Amino acid sequence: MSNLLTISPSPHAKGKETVPSLMYGVLMALIPAFLFSLYFFGIGALVTTLVSVGFCVLFEWLIAKYILNTKPQVCDGSAILTGVLLAFNLPSNINPFIVMIGALVAIGVAKMSFGGLGQNLFNPALVGRVFLLISFPQQMTTWPLPIENRLNYLDAVTGATPMSHDMLGKTDTVDMLMGATGGSLGEVAAIALIIGGIYMIWRKIITWHIPVSIIGTVAVFTLLVWLIDPTVCVNPLYHLLGGGLMLGAIFMATDYVTSPMSSTGKIVYGIGIGLLTVIIRLWGSYPEGMSFAILLMNAVTPLINKKFKPTRFGEIKTK
């Protein structure tokens, strides 16, 4: 016998998915949205994304190597994903310096200080985004107008998001679906995000529970309010297609680390995000509530995991 036999407990077979394959799968799913943002925002989208990804990977590597003294795992793709998602949540004309701060907060504060991949309580990209939103409200809420600013970067002509109160209801829903509106670079084209979501569900990277429950809750809730009093709330379609809802529901809320484990838990989590988003949008002082809603529900995730267990085999309620 040339080789020593290897012994391990069963199973001896292994599925194909690995952490990098899952992370790169999500990145694949983000490609359509990225292409749309390149089309609408041009060079700004490219620069912002590259800067964000670059700094996220760099910070992860530095912190893992020199502060945590562990082997850096930047190849697993999670830092790249955080970088892309952070960029997708920023206006495309933002100063690269601000992006760097966002990346530092996302990776350094929200991820590595908890112990790295798998340990963080909050979605790193969202923590970075919310930090920037609070620190640089001016820069974070002036979005370049799409298409005509493709070749400009920092000096782009800006406009407001369709979600701000004075703009509500004035943008065409088809434009919102196709992404021809102002907004953060990755969140404008709902159709591209939906394509990415379908891809991820087809590849079994995510399950349908979280996106469907968020979108469903927002739809039902805004429809009810709209029917009762259209002055408080515009057409539900605006809420579904506008702002970061699609990006959040499909890519941010489904983040493995910070979302619940069981199917029922995922639905509860999704409904929570949907409700909080609408409440913040309609009655809060921010025009956009997705980020805050997801972060708030991230905090509740451990409790959801405790409360909503999967159904045990054989445990049928006796009638």
Token readout for 47 is 């620069």
Question: Among residues 24, 114, 256, 286, which is the contact residue for other proteins, using CB under 8 A?
Answer: 256
Contacts of residue 84, defined as CB under 8 A and 6 or more positions apart, other chains included, come to 27, 30, 34, 49, 52, 53, 186
Stretch that binds other proteins, among 225-233, 235-243, 288-296, 308-316 (CB under 8 A): 308-316
Closest separation in Å from C-beta 257 to other proteins: 5
Which uninterrupted H or E stretch holds 159?
strand 158-159
67 touches other proteins by CB under 8 A = no
Q: How far is the CB of 251 from other proteins (least distance, A)?
A: 15
Structure tokens, 168: 């509500």
C-alpha distances (whole Å) from 27 to each of 39, 76, 107, 154 are 18, 12, 18, 26
- Restricting to residues 82-121, which ones interact with other proteins according to CB under 8 A? 116-119
Please pick, from the candidates 91, 197, 260, 270, the single residue that binds other proteins as defined by CB under 8 A.
260
How many residues sit close enough to other proteins to count as binding (CB under 8 A)? Answer: 44
- Site track 146-185 with other proteins (rule: CB under 8 A), x = hit: ----------------------------------------
Assigned token pair, 22: 């899952």
**Does the footprint of other proteins cover residue 311 (CB under 8 A)?**
yes
Residues 166/182, Cβ–Cβ less than 8 Å: no
**Contacts to other proteins from residues 5-24, by CB under 8 A:** 5-15, 17-19, 21-22
Q: How far apart are CA 217 and CA 47, in angstroms?
A: 35
User: Distance between CA 189 and CA 177 in Å, rounded?
Assistant: 6
Q: What is the DSSP letter of 250?
A: I
Q: Which residues bind other proteins (CB under 8 A)?
A: 1-15, 17-19, 21-22, 73, 76, 78, 116-119, 207, 256-263, 309-316
